[in-house]
Amino acid sequence: MTQIKICGIKTLPDALAAIAAGADYLGFNFYPKSVRFVEKFACAEITSALKREHPQIKLVGVFVNSSVEEVKDIMKTCSLDLAQLHGDEPLETLASFNGKAFKAFRGIPESADEFARSVPPAFLLDASVKGVYGGSGVTADWQGAAELAKKYPLLLAGGLTPENVAEAVRRVKPWGVDVASGVESAPGEKEAGKMVQFVKAVRASQSSDQ
């Protein structure tokens, strides 16, 4: 079953609405320039409630060119399961997390083999938008992603919406899909109805495949 990650969570009500809609993973953005940025201790309040009430949900921190020390500190404070490295981090940085981190690529990478994790998600594939580290609303290269998805359990991001995610799943066949702006009423504000529609579209695309 395709895994669903709803990213850019900033409040507990949005987190609970995402879980109610059917999300498997929740993402918290620690990139200060993002409209979805969440402060460490605000996130810790949210995640402590989630760990208590919904321990099955995987919690992911999104980081852009942060130091290893900072990422590890935030992961510990916020009880995060995984770190998503969404900047220009080298292989050595990824290796510092002993399997608790995965790389996000903007565009089709040449070095997927080096960066791929042995467990899913191997990595995340986002759209390539100059000067923007994710959350752009621009769709990724689905054709290139489909080729990579034959080799790796990848997480597909980039401009996914309730309207296009079923086609994306059919064409790319990713391990999982990642959405932020596509389920918002305004930048950084999740809309429960859109999250429900998104999850339904993913599930419907799979049932039609079978």
**CATH number, domain containing residue 73:** 3.20.20.70
In this model, does residue 35 exceed pLDDT 70?
yes
- Asked if 108 and 90 count as a contact pair (C-beta separation under 8 A), the reply is no
Please tell me the pTM assigned to this model. Answer: 0.94
| Pair 83, 63: CB distance under 8 Å | yes
Is residue 135 pLDDT above 70, yes or no? no
Q: What is the pLDDT of residue 132?
A: 53
Query: Residue 110: pLDDT band by 50, 70, 90 thresholds?
Result: confident
Q: Number of structural domains, the chain? A: 1
Host domain of residue 73 = 3-209
- Band (pLDDT 50/70/90 cuts) for residue 133 is low
Catalytic pick from 14, 78, 126, 178?
126
Active site residue 43: no
- Catalytic-labelled residue, pool 7, 14, 78, 178: 7
What pLDDT is stored for residue 131 in this prediction? 57
* Residue 128 scores a pLDDT above 80: no
> What pLDDT sits at residue 129?
59
Nearest Cα to Cα of residue 108 among 141, 155, 153, 154: 141
126 is catalytic: yes
Confidence of residue 205 (pLDDT cuts 50, 70, 90): confident
CB atoms under 10 Å from CB of 199, counted, come to 24
Question: Given CA atoms 142, 138, 184, 12 in this order, what sign does their dihedral have?
Answer: positive
115 pLDDT more than 80: yes
